[in-house]
Every structure is written in structure tokens, then in C-alpha cells.
Amino acid sequence: MKKIFTCIILMLTFTIADAQQKFSDFSKDFVNGYNALKLPQLELSYVSGLQHIGSIENVQKQEDFFESVKLKIAAFKPTDLTPEQKTDYQLISYETNLNLERIALEKQWLKNKPDTISKKGIITIPNGKAWYVYLLKRWVNDQVTPDQVYQFGLSEVERVKSHIEAIRKATGLSEVEFYKHLNDPSFFISDPAEVQQSFERTKAVVYSNLHKLFSQTKLSDLKIERGESKQLAQTPGYYDDNTFYYNLFDKPYNKRQVDWLFIHEAVPGHHYQFSIVSGTKVSAVQNLFYYMGLAEGWGAYAEELGKELGVYKTPYDELGKWEWDIVRSVRVPLDVGLNYYGWTDQQALEFWKKNIRGQDDIAMREIARIRRWPAQVVTYKYGALQILHWRAQLQKQQGKAFDIREFHNRVLNHGSLPLFMVKENVFKVPD
């Protein structure tokens, strides 16, 4: 009886080992096949994305590949795979289904392709609402509907407005006095050297407190430089290749932007995130993909950590974070309204003015951006709020045992993943 039992165990072991080897071979074939397709990157502009759709023969070739993958992956049981292979299994399944959704839309597009592509918004193209549903899922990397995102956006608008109002009350100023004071010359810097020094000071404070929230504090070198790209002049700053750029062109720099912007673009935002992700060992499958829901969501989430990192020392420093956050929040319902519900520019402008004070000068710019780049603006708020919700839920579950540093490790230490997979890692019970 003992020998029979041992034989059964050995047979099961060989079966699992065989499944893992077969999956390894399957994964290699997937990577090679996926690379051979030479799929274009996700485009910001829906017009550019449509222009880069291949021929019907090319799209059919893609469909044949992903349908084949769908059949082959169904033969594997996730329980038979190693943890790393389970990650690949989930990614391949996720990307296969999403690509087949895209391909179905592209085949319809090619069948009834218009002579010219409307630039008045994705809702004005054939099957535009279905395209938006797909792009929304592709950008935020989660299974969401436009209606869900719209309601989420409305709730965020109210949450952020309540923070701004709390700061206003803390100043003791009336509404009129408060918003008038925000344009006081004392909030603005014209000297480039002073702007540079302000960011350097914030960097020093943040770095000195980083250990309180993060276990990994050794990062690749970060440079702070004045931006020179006129194409990016509409943003207060950006991050690229281990360098944080602040934009100072023809207008004085708003001091209230210094703390939150450094945190978002540099540390512990994008620079920190990229430093960790670049040092994370991932599979060849995972190397194929990059997920904006986590990337931009992390940058926006990091802004919530300002006080814990020793910045936001005055109510107005913190206000700077909420001033930009109300813009991000309002853009979420606007995105759905313009690209799915069919709002006019006037309806969008009225919604903007109803919820944002003192920033009418950028309203039409943002509305035009949303029409050109459907769904992209949702990534910041949607990703950030998922992380905030996970943190609150885990704190409630673990109580005093909750470790913020371990939480941040769970979010970032597995590389770039769709949000539903990041959530699984956050709540995974250690073996």
C-alpha cells in the first residue's frame, strides 16, 4: 500500500513538472509570436491609433494568433504552475482577451472605413462608444464601465472639494478673500535660481523622511533641471530618464506647485517607482507590457503622502496638491461626458466652472485634450484611489500589525501589472 501511495505521489509530481515545462514552452512561443506581430503602442490620440490600424490581412493574422493562444492556454491549470508562471498565465489571458476585443473593433472599422477620420471626438466616429469602452479598460487596466467611472469621478470631485474647503476654513478667510489671496504675488517666484532651490529643498526633506514609509531607500541618481521643451510647457513639470524637469517659461512659478509636483514626478512618485521596477526581475512575458493605471495612479497616490514625508508644511503648500487634484477629478466625469455621453464643449465648460474656482484659463485646453486623448486622464485618479482603498482596507484588517512600508513593497515590487493583479499581490497571505 505504501509503495502504491509513493507511486501516485511520483506520478502527480511528474505530471505537474510536465505541465510546468509545457507552460514554459508555451510562454516562449507566446513571446516570440507576440513580438512577430509588431503591434503598435497604445496611442494618446485616438486619431493616430486609428491611422495605424493595419490591413485586413494583418488584423486577421493578429486574430488568428490570439485565438490560438486562447485555445492553448485553456489546457493549463493555474494550480499546476509556479508562482511566476501563474503571473504569466494571468497576463497572457488578460492581454489575449483585450486584444481580441480590439481586433473585433478594428475589423468593423476596416469594413466600413470612412474617407476621413473625424477629429471632433471619438464619439463622432463609427462605433465610437464601443471604442471608448475598450480604450477605458485599456488605459486604466481594469474591468470598468463608463457609467462606473463617471460616478467614481463625481464622488472624487466632492471629496477633493471638501479638502479645499477645510483648508479655506483653516485660514480664517472668507471665500472671496481666500480665492483673491491665492493670486497674491508672495505665492509666485520669477527667479529661476530660487525655483531650483525650492525643489532642491523639497528633495532634501523628502529623502530624509523616506525611510518612514519605504523600506527601499537607495535609488538611482535623480537630477532636477529646468525644462526646455515648449511642447510640454502646459504642464508644471515632468519626469524623464532619471531627471525631474520643472517648467518655467514666461510666467512666474507658483510656490504651491513645488511640493506635490516633486512628489508626483520624482520621489516617491515616478522616479522612485521606476527605480524599484527597473530593479525587479520579471519574466519575458511581463517585459512585453506596461500598465498606465499603476504608473500614473502611483504618481497621484504618492501626493497623498506629503505630510508624512515632511512637506506640505503650510495649509497653502497642501492646497497646491488639491488645486491640481480638483482638475484631475473634474476631468474624469468630463472624459466620460465628452467621449461617451456626447456632451458639448459648452456642457463641459459649465461642469468645469461649477466645480473649479480660479482656473478658467485652462478649461478649454483640458476639454480639447480630453477629446483628442479619450480615457487617458482617468488613469491618474482611478489608479490612485484603488491604492488608497487597498491601504485603508489592509489597515482595517491588520490593525496595529499594518506596516506601510510592506504595503508599498507589495504595490511596487512585482513590476508593472494590471490593477487587478496588483490588488491580488497586496492582499496575498504569505505562505
Give, for all 431 residues of the chain, the pLDDT tens digit: 555 555 444 444 548 888 899 999 999 999 999 999 999 999 999 999 999 999 999 999 999 999 999 999 999 999 999 999 999 999 999 999 999 999 999 999 999 899 999 999 999 999 999 999 999 999 999 889 999 999 999 999 999 999 999 999 999 999 999 999 999 999 999 899 999 999 999 999 999 999 999 999 999 899 999 988 777 767 889 999 999 999 988 789 999 999 999 999 999 999 999 999 888 899 999 999 999 999 999 999 999 999 999 999 999 999 999 999 999 999 999 999 999 999 999 999 999 999 998 788 889 999 999 999 999 999 999 999 999 999 999 999 999 999 999 999 999 999 999 999 999 999 987 76
Residues 246 and 237: beta-carbon distance below 8 Å: yes
Residues 6+ apart with CB under 8 A from 113: none
The angle subtended at Cα 145 by Cα 141 and Cα 146, nearest 5°, is 110
3-state SS, 140-187, equals: HCCCCCHHHHHHHHHHHHHHHHHHHHHHHHHHCCCHHHHHHHCCCHHH
Q: Are 103 and 66 in contact (CB under 8 A)?
A: yes
For residues 307 and 99, give the distance between their C-alpha atoms in angstroms, rounded to a whole number: 41
Q: What is the pLDDT of residue 6?
A: 53
Do 282 and 349 contact (CB within 8 A), yes or no? no
Could you give the CA distance from residue 23 to residue 171 in angstroms, rounded to a whole number? 61
Alpha carbons within 13 angstroms on the beta-carbon side of residue 222 total 27
Cα separation, 127 vs 359, whole angstroms: 34
Q: Helix crossing, 419-427 with 292-302: angle to 10°?
A: 60
- Evaluate whether 154 touches 335 at the Cβ level (below 8 Å): no
Which pLDDT value is given to residue 13? 52
**pLDDT at residue 11 in the model:** 43
Residue with cell 518612514: 212
| pLDDT, position 431 | 61
As given in the structure block, the three cell numbers for residue 66 are: 490570439
Neighbour count for residue 417 (Cβ, 10 Å): 24
Looking at the chain, the number of H-run helices and the number of E-run strands are: 17, 5
- Give CA separation, 327 vs 160, 322, 366, in Å: 10, 9, 9
Q: Which of 268, 262, 258, 255 is nearest to 209 (CA)?
A: 268
Q: Is the pTM of this model over 0.85?
A: yes
* pLDDT at residue 4, as a whole number: 54
Domain boundaries, the chain: 2-117, 146-427
SS3 content of the chain, % helix, strand, coil (to 5): 70, 5, 25
